[in-house]
A and B are shown apart, each in its own frame.
Chain A
Amino acid sequence: MMAGIAVSTNINSDNAEFLCHADETLLDVLRDRLGLMGAKEGCGTGDCGACSIILDDRLVCSCLVLGAEAEGGRIETVEGMAQGDQLHPLQQKFLEHAALQCGICTPGFLIAAKDLLAKNPDPTEEEIRFGLAGNLCRCTGYDKIVRAVQDAAGVMRGADHEF
């Protein structure tokens, strides 16, 4: 058996170190080794987006990234979005618009939407739809998700600080 690889990263502004196998995905590391279960495995093949995280300012499917690749990296997961009991505007708007039914896709959508709005603070409906096309939701038909993202984008543009 191979020995574990030692990896140092920063996750949601905290330093995190872990050992993982060479072929272990970052999703498995987050969930099984670090207890961060917000990212979900819907497919394991990069097709559903439920495992979305931000790695060094890039939106990635953590099921397609190896744990070892996170060495020296900066990771953002859904667990890092709220500040204390202050929800991120996207989280708040997802609740207000009922943009979730079962909620299994929600962490992935929140992260993907956060990444989208960081790059495009004032997206059109079409830009939102294409920006979130890598995330599957089977419950909502996306209508309320798109509206929640539009609404959150407005709040974030009007705010005096970054999220």
Chain B
Amino acid sequence: MNFDPSHSKRSFSSVGTRPIRPDGVDKVTGRARYGADFNMPGQLVGRILRSPHAHANIRKIDTSKAAQLPGVKAVLTAADLPDLTDGDAAMYDILDNCMARKKALYDGHAVAAVAAIDARTAKQALKLIEVEYELLPHVTDVDQAFAPDAPLINDTIFTTGVDPKPDRPSNVLMRSQFGHGDVDAGMASADFVVERTFKTEQTHQGYIEPHACVASVSSDGTADLWVCTQGHFVYRQHCAQLLGMDASKLRVTSSEIGGGFGGKTHVWAEPVALALSRKVGRPVKLVMTRDEVFRASGPTSATSIDVKIGALKDGTIIAADATLRYSCGPYAGAWAEIGAMTAFACYKLENVRTVGYEVLVNRPKTAAYRAPSAPMAAFAVESAIDELAKKVGMNPIDFRIRNAAQEGTKASYGPVYGPIGIGPTLEAVKNHPHMKAPLGKNQGRGMACGFWFNFGGQTCTDLNIGKDGTVSLAVGTVDVGGSRASLSLVAAEELGIDYSQVRTVIADTSSLGYNDMTDGSRGTFSSSMATISAARNAIKILRERAAQMWDIPVEDVTWEKGHAVAKGETHGNLPKLSLKEIAAASGTTGGPIAGHSEIVADGAGVSFATHICDIEVDPETGATKVLRYTVVQDAGKAVHPTYVEGQYQGGAAQGIGWALNEEYIYGKDGRLQNAGFLDYRIPVCSDLPMIDTQILEIPNPNHPYGVRGVGETSIVPPLAAVANAVSNAVGVRMLHIPMSPPRILAALDA
């Protein structure tokens, strides 16, 4: 849906306030039900056996002993999940990832599953399954996998996007390129050039709730799935396709979700739970352990990125070039492509080129992680920009302001920008007291910018007005962090009623039309757009009903502050009718009143942020301490500012963890060595300072209220902001993330 800008609204009574969220009380009292908090009568416990090897042919699986164990009701292998994907390569990858077919492709790859009467029996049964593996050479490092002589992960992969087509297979799935102008000529004319290679390690979204579901398949072929997911409609589609069911026969209910950040956009064990349930005819509950979450869900890419940027003496960036290699696990992905699109998106560049390479490795299938692929590219680019500013002799902020993209700039990835917030965030940072605060010994300050596209997509919303005049809003976009509050505000705003009169729920897949999942920062953007249009449709009916009650033409009825108002000289004396009064009469004026909306929410507004980080580094130990952190980001319009701040703070904290601590560590044997929160250390409360936020509102012209997405951009700048701060503190350019103490010491010694 393209929004008609003449219908936009810029002054608000509900939107922009900060009420308590509707699902809040349940969440502070323990009543809210998450993935693992649901049980069904007669339910069995499902568990999955996983490969301990990084790369191996599966010669034989003997499940007979497990099947004989008392209490075991079903044992499953890939043979129970026949390939119904019909040439759909992406779905085939998902199928193979859910249950390895011929080869185990990473440590943690599922090879068999059981359903048993309880957890201990299921666990015991897994030990009785005998798998004969033939070990194959493996490769887990992105640069090693990129090398021409690397062990081959899939011998049907011939790099696409290169000319001529390669004559032998490799681990390089695809090359993609973006940009414009003449980069080589531009670079040749530069007065200053910075050229660097950066590396980032693989991280996990680290949601605190492990994947969990309860699947129940009935003998008549209908099925129910309760699951924590960012997109129950997508899960339904995947599961139905993999199991050969009609989508309408499978009802998926999204539980409260204990964090996702991109990791719950993808099915991992749900088709297995359904297949087990189908096999045994009883509900099956399947909950991953934390170890499984790390080894077998979808972490982000590890990367290696070359950046070369040239500037003129006056501080103009004259050419920018980057080559980005992103790991995507053992399956296809387009992660480097996204990195290549975002890398230079903050800048106005005449000559720019980015080349991305997708690289297969023996690690879990990469999934999205909050602005997927952008943080690593920003780390490389924003680090090089800082260095280049120094060479030019400008301070990093003025250098960025000078080169920042503006309305009308042709973005490095193609489109021409409308009104955007990069310049305003930079100006806000320049004027922020944080920038002027003094620093002590061994302390450094860094800043960095970040960009994210934001998405819209398919969205469906029902707004039903009850006989008492209160409103039920059913949306299909999963609420991951407070969007029910925002959507209630939007409905209240449009209808002119109080926030407390609206209850927003997430409808299951049988109760509402298809919705894309909560990703790409689309939740509030797209669902608020659909809510506004549903509310406006309802208002149309409310006006008609009022006209009928008054017996006047509908054109003479307007909607103001929750009331139908009769306009025109002849009707001027009619007292206005409240929504409540119109609803109460609905039984005699034409039946229930509702507004519906089914849209493709086009016109998502791109989003920019600039962050500032102060850090102290202990030169003896390499230990770091973040002292102060500030986020400035354009929200377009903050519907519920407190939750917008929360998104800014949460993304910053994740980015700080990525910059300083978090990484997947693989041994020479190709096994993950830190599959737990003890050794994969995410920031705790004592690791962080307060995170200051400043919300800018540069309206997105394509949304009725100006909303842009806010969920993801906040994780884009921190890697670079922290790296620039550390580099400034120690006087050495940091090239490898995370900057754990040993890496900082190594950089100091080099």
Where the two chains meet, the residues of A that have a C-beta atom closer than 8 Å to any C-beta of B are: 21, 31, 36-45, 47-48, 50, 77-79, 81-82, 87, 91, 94-98, 100-107, 110, 125-126, 128-130, 132-147
Contacts and interface: CB of A to CB of B under 8 A. Distances in A.
10 contacts: A36-B30, A40-B208, A47-B290, A102-B258, A104-B34, A110-B28, A133-B684, A136-B677, A138-B205, A143-B691
Contacts of B386: none
Query: Looking at chain A's contact residues, is the secondary structure mostly helix, strand, loop, or mixed?
Result: loop
B69 interface: no
Contacts of A40: 34, 36, 208-209, 258
B677 A139 contact: no
Contacts of B261: 138
B84 interface: no
A142 B208 contact: no
A64 to B, nearest CB: 12
A133 B96 CA distance: 39
Contact of B32 (A101, A103, A128, A146): A103
A81 B33 CA distance: 18
A53 to B, nearest CB: 11
Contacts of A107: 28, 30
B678 A47 contact: yes
Q: Which 7 A-B pairs have the closest CB atoms?
A: A38-B30, A104-B258, A141-B653, A103-B27, A101-B481, A141-B649, A47-B677
Interface string B206-244: 111110000000000000000000000000000000000
A50 B208 contact: yes
- Best-surrounded residue of A45, A50, A106, A143 (most CB of chain B within 10 A): A143
Contacts of B355: none
Nearest to A147: B690
A82 B677 contact: no
B30 A136 contact: no
Interface in B672-699: 676-678, 682-688, 690-691
Nearest to A47: B677
Nearest to A107: B30
Given A40-B209, A42-B290, A104-B207, 8 more contacts: A42-B208, A100-B27, A102-B208, A103-B27, A103-B258, A105-B258, A130-B685, A138-B259
A136 B649 CA distance: 15
B337 interface: no
Interface in B248-302: 256-261, 287, 289-290
Contacts of B584: none
B5 interface: no
A126 to B, nearest CB: 8
A130 B30 contact: no
A162 B118 CA distance: 42
Contact of A136 (B29, B208, B481, B652): B208
B682 A42 contact: no
B646 A102 contact: no
A136 to B, nearest CB: 6
Contacts of B29: 38, 78-79, 81-82, 87, 91
A136 B574 CA distance: 59
Contacts of B290: 42-45, 47-48
B30 A105 contact: no
A110 B31 CA distance: 14
A139 B690 contact: no
B537 interface: no
Given A98-B482, A101-B482, A87 B25 contact: yes
A153 to B, nearest CB: 15
A114 B646 CA distance: 23
B208 A105 contact: yes
B685 A98 contact: no
Contact of B652 (A96, A101, A141): A141
Contacts of B647: 101
Interface of B: 18, 20-21, 23-25, 27-34, 36-37, 120, 205-210, 256-261, 287, 289-290, 480-482, 642-643, 645-647, 649-650, 652-654, 676-678, 682-688, 690-691
A44 B289 contact: yes
A73 B523 CA distance: 45
Contacts of B677: 42-43, 45, 47-48, 136
A110 B27 CA distance: 11
A96 B654 CA distance: 23
Contacts of A104: 34, 207-209, 256, 258-259
A61 to B, nearest CB: 12
Contacts of A45: 290, 676-678
Contacts of B650: 101, 138-141
A91 B28 contact: yes
A128 B685 contact: yes
Contact of B686 (A44, A48, A130, A145): A130
B28 A100 contact: yes
A77 B29 CA distance: 10
B259 A95 contact: no
A137 B28 contact: no
Contacts of B685: 128-130, 132-133, 135, 137, 142, 145-146
A98 B21 contact: yes
B489 to A, nearest CB: 14
B480 A102 contact: yes
B652 to A, nearest CB: 6
A139 B27 contact: no
Contacts of A136: 206, 208, 677, 682, 684
A21 B120 CA distance: 10
Contacts of A95: 20-21, 24-25, 28
Nearest to B655: A141
Contact of B208 (A81, A96, A138): A138
B210 to A, nearest CB: 7
Contacts of B646: 98, 101, 139-141, 144
B258 A43 contact: no
Most chain A CB inside 10 Å of its own CB: which residue of B33, B258, B682: B258
A94 to B, nearest CB: 5
A110 to B, nearest CB: 6
Given A102-B258, A104-B259, A106-B27, A137 B208 contact: yes
Given A36-B30, A81-B29, A102 B207 contact: yes
Contacts of A31: 36-37
Nearest to A105: B208
A102 B481 contact: yes
Given A91-B28, A141-B649, A102 B684 contact: no
Contacts of B210: 41-42
Nearest to B482: A101
A82 B24 CA distance: 14
Contacts of B287: 41
Contact of B688 (A44, A91, A98, A142): A142
